[in-house]
């Protein structure tokens, strides 16, 4: 997978050189290219923003640098076009389902906005030749798209074959196949500062352990994300079990 990221703070994306994504890039599973949007400005101040049409507070990102950046990185007459992801509080919710969908794309491009956002015509223009998704990573407001891109790139990259060591662990995560939150995990020591690992996990009885983990996942989901439980539609062992 090729990933292009456009930002006026390219150093913000240095985190993509680390850990899982960094290793995937070094191994050739990912081709990560970070671009400074100001490389497509032509004035002495490398201007990327201007006042909002119609008035209002703050500044808006000018369309021209974005148009030139997209044309340079994904030429109109090129052999392929990326899927463009634009982080915004006004976007469709990012989800594990969308992460899996994006992980199947050969080429993603991320447009990091700043100020009050990017001139709306940029997404319109890009939409004439590539798929554009305006995406929110949650109902809270950041100062720019860079953090959202780091979140989405990590969520997507870890789904790529060969990126994480044990693909089986993907199946048991929160928001994975069964729609429940993941169960609590423990390791050694079995007793720590007066807190013990649940006995069932030391029993060696794999059927009992699996049942306990499922029950814990249902309980957690009922307590913390009743909305997911409704969607899950599974039979809760008993009202008391889930709520206790």
Ligand X SMILES: Nc1cc(-c2ccc3cc[nH]c3c2)n[nH]1
In the numeric block, which tokens belong to residue 17? Answer: 């050189």
Stretch that binds ligand X, among 49-57, 86-94, 166-174, 206-214 (CB under 6 A): 86-94
Nearer to ligand X, 41 or 216 (CB): 41
Binding flag, residue 113, ligand X (CB under 6 A): yes
Give the phi and the psi of residue 35 in degrees, each rounded to 5: -120, 140
Binding flag, residue 133, ligand X (CB under 6 A): no
Instruction: Report how far residue 140's alpha carbon sits from residue 136's, in angstroms, rounded to the nearest whole number.
Output: 9
By CB under 6 A, the residues from 143 to 162 that bind ligand X are: 143-145, 148
Cα–Cα nearest to 90, from 42, 141, 129, 132: 141
Stretch that binds ligand X, among 35-43, 124-132, 134-142, 167-175 (CB under 6 A): 134-142
Q: Given candidates 4, 25, 65, 87, which one binds ligand X under the rule CB under 6 A?
A: 87
Max Cα-Cα span within the chain: 70
Binding flag, residue 65, ligand X (CB under 6 A): no
Residues 132 and 126 sit within 8 Å (Cβ to Cβ)? yes
Nearer to ligand X, 49 or 172 (CB): 49
Question: Can you spell out the DSSP letters for 141-186?
Answer: --SSSHHHHHHHHHHHHTTSTTTSS-THHHHTSTTSTT-SPPPP--
By CB under 6 A, the residues from 66 to 85 that bind ligand X are: none
Which residues sit at the interface with ligand X, rule CB under 6 A? 87-89, 113-114, 117, 136-138, 140-145, 148
């Amino acid at each position: 997978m090729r990933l292009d990221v456009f930002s006026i703070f390219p150093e913000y994306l240095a985190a993509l050189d680390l850990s899982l994504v960094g290793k995937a890039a070094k191994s050739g599973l990912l081709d990560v290219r970070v671009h400074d949007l100001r490389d497509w400005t032509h004035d002495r101040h490398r201007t990327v923003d201007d006042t909002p049409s119609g008035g209002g507070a703050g500044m808006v990102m000018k369309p021209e640098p974005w148009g030139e950046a997209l044309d340079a990185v994904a030429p109109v007459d090129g052999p392929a076009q990326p899927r463009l992801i634009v982080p915004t509080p006004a976007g469709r919710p990012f989800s594990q389902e969308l992460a899996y969908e994006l992980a199947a794309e050969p080429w993603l491009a991320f447009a990091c906005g700043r100020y009050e956002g990017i001139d709306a015509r940029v997404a319109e223009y890009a939409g004439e030749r590539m798929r554009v998704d305006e995406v929110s990573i949650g109902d809270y407001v950041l100062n720019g798209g860079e953090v959202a891109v780091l979140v989405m790139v990590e969520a997507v990259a870890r789904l790529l074959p060969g990126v994480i060591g044990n693909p089986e662990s993907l199946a048991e995560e929160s928001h994975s196949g069964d729609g429940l939150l993941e169960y609590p995990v423990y390791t050694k020591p079995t007793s720590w500062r007066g807190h013990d690992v649940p006995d069932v996990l030391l029993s060696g009885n794999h059927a009992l352990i699996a049942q306990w983990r499922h029950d814990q996942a249902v309980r957690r989901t009922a307590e913390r994300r009743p909305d997911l439980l409704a969607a899950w539609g599974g039979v809760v062992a008993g009202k008391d079990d889930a709520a206790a």
